[in-house]
Structure formats: C-alpha cells, structure tokens
Amino acid sequence: MRIAHRLPAVLLGATLALTACGGQGEEPEPAESAEPGTDTAAATCAPPAADPDRPGVGDGTFPVTLTDATGEVTLEAAPERIVSLSPSHTEMLFAIGAGDLVEAADEYSNHPPEAPTTDLSGFTPSVEAVTEYDPDLVVMSDSTAEVAEQLGEVDIPTLVLPAAATLEDTYAQIRLLGDATGHSEDADAEATRVETEFAEVVEEVCAEAGDSGLSFYQELDETPFAATSETFVGQVYSSFGLVNIADAADDGTAGGYPQLSQEYIVEENPDLIFLSYGDEAAVGAVAERPAFDTVTAVQNDAVYLLDADIASRWGPRVVDFARLVGDAVLENADK
C-alpha cells in the first residue's frame, strides 16, 4: 500500500496536460450523483460564433509587449532562437512561417516532420537543458509555469500559453505567436484559415446530416477518463450538434474530465465512441468489454480511433480533427 499513498493528485492533471489533453485536469472528486439518462439537450449543428471582442494582431515590429498567462512579457527584438516546450505551439509556429526560428522543440513535438524534436521534456522541463540551446524565447503551456519564473531569472523571455479551452483561444494564441515572432500578418491569415476551414467542415456535415442528435463520448484512456463539452475537444464535438454523455458525469468538480464507469457508459448507450489513445487493438478491446456488445456504437462499428496527437492538441490541425469527427457523424447519421 505504500506505493498508493504517494499519489499526488496533481499527476492526473500533469498527465493530461502532458498528452496535451488539457490543462486543468484534476482528480475527480465525489460528485453529486447525476441521474443517468438526464440527457443534456443536443447542441445545434453549427460552427461556433466568433467572439466580437476578439483581439487583433499588431504590426509585427519590436519591441513588443504581450500578455500571457503570467502577465506581461516584453520582447525587445525579434527572437531568432525559440525553444518550444509544447507540441501545439510547435505546430502553430511552423504554421505561421516561424518554423525556421525554432531551435529546439520538446520530445512530443513530432509535427510537422521538420520540427527539431529533441529529448527536452515539456512535462518536467529542465531549465538547464533549455538554456543549453541559448534561446531568446521559450514557449510553453501552463503545466509547468514555475519553470517560466526560473527562466525569467536567467533573462530568457518566456510565453506561458495555457491549453486552449475554446477555438477562440487557439486563434488568439496563433495571433499572439505571430506578434511574438514578427509574423503578425502570416499568423492572422493562418488563424482565419483555420477558422474558415473548420466552419466549412461543420457546415458541410450539418447540411447533410442535420441535427442528428447522436450521442457520443471521447475516451482519453482506458480507465476511462472522458472529456465534457466544457473542454476544447468537447467544443469541437458540440459544433456538430452531438450529445456528450460525459456532460452529466461532471458536476463541475472534474474540471471537464470526469472518469466514467463502465456501467454508466453501457446505460447511456452512446451512438459513437472516439478513442484518443492506443491503436486498433484498443478499438477491439472496447468491443470486448463486458456488456459492451449491447452498446449501439459497438453494434454499428462506430468506435473510432482518433490520432492521439490531432485529438489532444489545440493547434492548426483542429481542422483535421473536425474532419475525423464529421466523417463519423456522416457515417452514422441515418442509422
């Protein structure tokens, strides 16, 4: 039992953030018993409306002062040696044409292929290892904000950009990285492209499938943790008007990532199941679970394997994520 006593609750959050599943994962606490079957009304099938107060971009000149999660960060000159400790931000930097400025990226930054993946950990960053690359800008998500302070002490400007909770956050972070790298115009164009293409995917599916009212959940691991509509990935699903069975399982204490029980899933009987972990074997394992042969998603072969990277990052590839979900909806809308 000695082992089990040493479990910092924070690990769950750390793990979720590490796999870029979200920043605020907390140990699920005792929740009010949610009545199974209290379905939240299906969202309408439509792309999310734009935020009227959306921040614009600067003029791409330096010095520039930016606001990140920790406060204001001033960059005196255009950075030339960026270290990115977060896969989503690595993808954004390359998408806005600032990829050639990225000197080193963390161990999970595997996209695009030309990203300079190193053995740097974004999970437990080592300040010394980061300074080895002599960076003039470090970008990281918020799972390890105290490292930003230490980097500040050695005069390395650091941008802490938390895991996006909404698509708006993604667009804002893309534009902010544009201002930080002198690629403001490219970033503005990229953010607009992502938003437009996302909307196109959703509208196309909605036109064909209408308000299908299909229920689903996304499984983050086999224990199984799921993501509610309050999360970034949840918002992608809501755009298609799907009913998320995980919503009723979180009374606000699970931070958007409740752990579901097998019984709950069987009783809620989702039409679609998305796995954002594992491989084809994991899909087979779901069908093998006791009593899952009665679940509609299993009966209709509607257990989908998502690319774990695409489904857990909040970068430009959210459009690909939307396509995966959209295809699943189209396949099942008239069943």
The reply on whether position 135 binds another protein by CB under 8 A is no
Q: How far apart are CA 92 and CA 293, in angstroms?
A: 41
**Which secondary-structure segment (H or E) carries 291?**
none
> By CB under 8 A, which span of 42-50, 68-76, 144-152, 263-271 interacts with another protein?
263-271
Bridge partners of residue 14, in order along the sequence:
none
DSSP code string of 64-117: EEEEETTEEEEESS--SSEEE--HHHHHHHHHTT-GGGEEEE-TT---STTS-B
Out of 102, 160, 227, 266, point to the residue binding another protein (CB under 8 A). Answer: 266
Sign of torsion, CA 24 27 29 33? positive
We find the least distance from the C-beta atom of residue 69 to another protein, in angstroms, to be 23
> By CB under 8 A, which span of 126-134, 143-151, 190-198, 287-295 interacts with another protein?
287-295
Site for another protein (CB under 8 A): how many residues?
49
Q: Would you give the binding string for another protein spanning residues 34-63, x where CB under 8 A is met?
A: xxx---------------------------
We find the least distance from the C-beta atom of residue 258 to another protein, in angstroms, to be 6
The reply on whether position 141 binds another protein by CB under 8 A is no
The reply on whether position 299 binds another protein by CB under 8 A is no
CB within 8 Å of 281: residues ≥ 6 apart: none
Helix crossing, 184-209 with 167-181: angle to 10°? Answer: 160
> By CB under 8 A, which span of 73-81, 136-144, 178-186, 221-229 interacts with another protein?
221-229
The reply on whether position 148 binds another protein by CB under 8 A is no
The reply on whether position 126 binds another protein by CB under 8 A is no
Q: How far apart are CA 80 and CA 65, in angstroms?
A: 17
Looking up tokens 């935020």, which residue turns up?
51
Q: How far apart are CA 193 and CA 174, in angstroms?
A: 11
Sign of torsion, CA 292 293 297 303? positive
Out of 263, 300, 301, 335, point to the residue binding another protein (CB under 8 A). Answer: 263
We find the least distance from the C-beta atom of residue 33 to another protein, in angstroms, to be 5
Residues that bind another protein (CB under 8 A): 1-5, 7, 11-12, 14-16, 18-19, 28-31, 33-36, 121, 123-124, 221-223, 225, 248-249, 254, 258-264, 266-267, 269, 281, 285, 289-291, 293-295
